[in-house]
Amino acid sequence: MPANGDLARVRVRASFQYEDPSSEPQALTLYVFDDEGHAMCHCQTRGHSGQLELPRSLLGQTVTVGIAPAEPGRKPPTLAHMLDRGLTVVRVPWDDSRKGLWLGNIVIPKHWFKRSCCRVRGRVTRQVRLPNGQVVTRPLCNARIVICEVDISPRLIIKQLPNDLIRQLEIDAADLLSPRLPQPPPAPPSAVSHIPVIEHEQHRHTSHM
């Protein structure tokens, strides 16, 4: 990162329009990326603007700015990660340091802040070393699970699944998507089945000697 003398404080403005009119304005984070797709600086918005410290060497060039929901404490993402998550990325010229950057009209999708409930099932275990030195796996009781992030990109989820589970999902998907052929109607009963069958009882005559 350049020294403080090579940085310029730039005001970034935009007109944020929410896809869901009933939703309240949310905190957003603005990221500026270099040519390699790494975040150089970032800031949170207040209303429709924010303030960034940009290298003066970018003056007169086109700047890549990413817009994402505010996630305090999270490591800045790369440009590729933002594109995979379906977040907004714009390229705007920086011609005047006094005027700052104008990002234009930005539509904020409603799924960025959509909350939903889900049930997570599984087993929480930990390794315990016994007095004899043996390491065993034991269940961890009364564990509290905190879900920090849920990826919305199916490609990222599939990359983290084990191969056996992916194969099972392929089988289940093929079974659900395969066309169901109608079963042929049962064949009409043949005329032979209506012929009564007469059982002849055989009588044995036993002679008494």
Domains of the chain, with CATH numbers? 4-111 (2.60.40.10)
Q: Which residue did the predictor score with more confidence, 181 or 56?
A: 56
**3 vs 6, 53, 89, 100, 187, CA distance in Å?**
5, 11, 27, 20, 87
Q: Are the beta carbons of 89 and 82 closer than 8 angstroms? A: yes
> In terms of pTM, does the model score above 0.75?
no
Q: Is the confidence at residue 49, as pLDDT, over 80? A: yes
Which letter does DSSP use for residue 116 in this model?
A: -
Q: Which residue did the predictor score with more confidence, 148 or 61?
A: 61
pLDDT at position 209? 45
Provide mean pLDDT across the span 91-101: 85
**161 vs 93, 153, 164, 166, 189, CA distance in Å?**
41, 13, 8, 7, 53
Question: DSSP states of 143-177 as a string?
Answer: -----------HHHHHHTS-HHHHHHHHHHHHHHH
Q: Are the beta carbons of 43 and 29 closer than 8 angstroms? A: yes
Alpha carbons 100 and 94: distance in angstroms, whole number: 7
